[in-house]
Amino acid sequence: MSFRATVESMSQIMDEMGITELDLERQFLFGVYRKHIHLSKGCAPSVAPSFPTDNGIKNATTKTAVARDYANALKSPMVGVVYLATEPGAKPFVKVGDTVHAGDTVALVEAMKTFNPIKATSDGVVKEILVADAQAVEFDQPLIIIE
**In total, how many domains does the chain have?**
2
Q: What is the CATH number of the domain that holds 139?
A: 2.40.50.100
Is there a single domain that holds both residue 22 and residue 90? no
93-103 tens-digit pLDDT: 999 999 999 99
Is there a single domain that holds both residue 79 and residue 133? yes
Is there a single domain that holds both residue 16 and residue 31? yes
Q: Are strands 142-146 and 124-129 parallel, antiparallel or unpaired?
A: antiparallel
For residue 115, name the pLDDT band (cuts at 50, 70, 90). very high
Is there a single domain that holds both residue 74 and residue 138? yes
Instruction: Give how far Cα 100 sits from Cα of 36, 52, 122, 123, Å.
Output: 37, 23, 8, 6
Is there a single domain that holds both residue 74 and residue 119? yes
Is there a single domain that holds both residue 113 and residue 68? yes
Strand order in the sheet with 114-119: 114-119, 105-111, 80-83, 135-137
For residue 9, name the pLDDT band (cuts at 50, 70, 90). confident
Closest to 141 measured CA to CA, from 80, 63, 93, 94: 80
Is there a single domain that holds both residue 61 and residue 95? yes
Classify residue 89 by its DSSP letter.
T
Distance CA 47, CA 60 (A): 13
Range of the domain at 9: 1-43
Instruction: Give how far Cα 27 sits from Cα of 22, 42, 123, Å.
Output: 17, 32, 44
Q: Are strands 124-129 and 73-75 parallel, antiparallel or unpaired?
A: unpaired
21-70 tens-digit pLDDT: 776 666 767 676 666 666 654 443 333 333 333 444 444 444 344 446 67
Q: Is the pTM of this model over 0.85?
A: no
